Chains A and B, each alone.
Chain A
């Protein structure tokens, strides 16, 4: 028989598209080189013409398809373009059992299928505290005031018309929920990178540096060292951020996301952007900024988003997302198609600045090799890394380890638990491990 899969330019159909249920099971049960065998088996089973055709070449080449031999659709058929109908698998999804009411829940971004560093706005993860609304921008206001009249020369109100006249900045930043990977503090709990790490997104945000507005209101920076941000949703979510971050110019009152206005689920028409800090501080539907001389101990910094330590104390006002990384391809819940070459790809980020280096291990952390970083590497933004891998069909454990510009090295589970125990819920930035079985199935494991 002609070894057709060795022919250059071959197309390998997905097993489930042309194999019987039994053959798919055989694939899943761990037969190596299955693709070659099953391709030939399928060819033989499908009778002579198929074999003859296959020997001659790929029918997708030999016979021009409909899209090559007919007229396509006109411009603006979809006035707002949507992904191909073949992309329906990649959706925001909830994790069953995580929350009991959709208005105070999370949907995770499908990191397993995304490329580069920008999260498509429609796939950006969601976390709402009391549901979301599509707010009329002509009726939305931003108020800036002081906890005390002495902290500010004039409390002011701004409309979108006015905010969008001000000097703007556009910057790419990651946003990660403080509880990302929180399900995994004690043990492996969820199957795929969507659920382990999917409370993570990265966008280009456009807005006014908050410093401009505070300057405009005449804030007394000597006394007012804390800033409270408040949302316009039912929960009127509030968080305290330090004035130092505002003074650095990094904090934006943003209206733009990836070239268009923010999506309603992400705070339309106004949200705070607090680079490097957990998502809960990026207050959505932002309606008020108050400057004050002490932290506010709001519900989401006094009851939730506090990190329990083994000694019974809670860390309060924990905000920074420390350096972290994860391999997204291949990752948990995926199956490799065959032995041979793979581009192993993932994401790295740090709330303390730029990613300096990412190392990848294929043997559970005994040996490491440095991955390629896809530049430009940006401050407090996702950084894509890639590295080459030749899978020999043997079991393997894949890991990635990020190092940021401060020199901080992402910790192992053992190191993190040694200081924080297993009940912190928040700020789990441990090294993620994916076990590759001989069958090609990738699963979530924790290496200490």
Chain B
């Protein structure tokens, strides 16, 4: 009986797999994209300007938009290094002639800006259009993008102040880009076809040629660089970034004083994120009491931690006046416990 069923099963499986090979496409999977859908999502702009929308924008309009939407991160003149690296600077009239930014090789450039690097103006248009402004990506209309780009080109001294950038003249601007000849694909890190076979790159040939020597490979060990002292402590307490058991321990880098300070800073951050600091100051009354006053009131009470924990969790009124403290059910118990301990130890 059992042998008979196994035979049947084998026959059934063989039949099924033969049938499955008959499928040459995935029936019932996917549907054609509509023209409107393609228009909505296919927004990329290539180096040959395929995908570039029609439109135009002036330097003046661009300055207005830039100050309104971009300057808070990039600085009014695209020079800011506060949030992101600078957009403009580091290029010269000579660079525009040669298409190579001289500062990249001479070492004169303190920092690379967008226009010292980019070789394709389409890149900048595409990126502003798809990703800017930072907090409201894709909110710019094509004319806005042209205007903002025109302003950046003017800041880079590539176009005059009365310039109007458009889909018609963007190709001329490409010919002025200071680093337009600054890229090479002659390297081994492109995983596709080599340039000589119609692709780009060298087909994967590496640029280093180390040998697997095993014995007496050199006469001395040259140490080129060691960890600077500031870098040893810049990443916090390393002892707390390793397990407290096992073959090694994290090296204690900060010491107890600094560790307490770091822990306090962490808790203040937690208090801020949890919304506590909206109503309490460390040393001042805001809506609720300052934490220095809470500390003073509870400091000699042995059950203070549990009482305060319950009070903060459930909320309350009357101890510090008539303005009620709302319940804080959204906080995790462990976080609440950390915050209460912090307040009772004289929050800093």
A368–B224 contact, CB under 8 A?
no
Q: Is the CB of A155 within 8 A of B32?
A: yes
Scoring B residues 15 to 37 as 1 if CB is less than 8 Å from chain A, else 0, what string do you get?
00000000001101111110001
B272 at the interface (CB under 8 A from A): no
B44 and A296 contact, CB distance less than 8 A: yes
With a cutoff of 8 Å between Cβ atoms, the chain A residues found around residue B102 in the complex are 312
B46 — which chain A residues lie within 8 A by C-beta?
A: 147, 292, 294, 296-297
Tell me whether A121 is interfacial, beta carbon within 8 Å.
no
Main secondary structure of the interface of A (DSSP, over half): mixed
Query: Which listed segment binds A: B160-168, B236-244, B311-319?
Result: B236-244
Interface residue? B289 (CB, 8 A): no
Pick from B185, B193, B251, B253: contact of A244, CB below 8 A: B193
- A330: B residues at CB distance < 8 A: 247-248
Residues of A within 8 A of B (CB): 14-17, 21, 24, 28, 86-87, 89-91, 93, 95-97, 100-101, 103-104, 110, 112-113, 129-130, 143-145, 147-148, 154-158, 162-163, 165-166, 187-192, 194-195, 212-213, 215-217, 225-226, 228, 230, 234-236, 238, 241-245, 276-277, 287-288, 290, 292, 294-299, 302-303, 306-320, 322, 329-330, 332-337, 342-343, 351-352, 357, 359, 363-370, 397, 401, 403, 408-416, 419-420, 427, 435, 441-448
The contact sample of 26 A-B pairs, CB cut-off 8 A, is A145-B33, A157-B37, A166-B26, A188-B225, A189-B231, A191-B238, A192-B235, A225-B192, A236-B131, A244-B192, A245-B192, A303-B114, A303-B117, A307-B189, A312-B102, A313-B183, A313-B184, A316-B183, A317-B189, A320-B191, A333-B253, A352-B204, A366-B216, A442-B251, A445-B223, A445-B226
A448 cross-chain contacts in B, Cβ below 8 A: 222-224
A15 to B212, CA, bound (A): 40
Interface string of B208-231 (1 = CB under 8 A from A): 111111111110011111111001
B191 and A242 contact, CB distance less than 8 A:
yes
How far apart are the CA atoms of A294 and B31 in the complex, in Å? 26
From B124, B215, B242, A89 is in contact (CB under 8 Å) with B242
Please classify how large the interface on chain B is, using the bins under 10, 10 to 19, 20 to 34, 35 or more: 35 or more
> B212–A192 contact, CB under 8 A?
no
Is B190 in the interface zone, CB < 8 Å from A? yes
Given contact pairs A14-B245, A148-B50, a sample of 15 additional A-B residue pairs in the complex whose CB atoms are under 8 Å apart? A14-B249, A144-B33, A147-B46, A158-B30, A216-B29, A297-B119, A302-B118, A302-B120, A307-B189, A313-B104, A315-B184, A337-B248, A351-B191, A409-B212, A445-B225
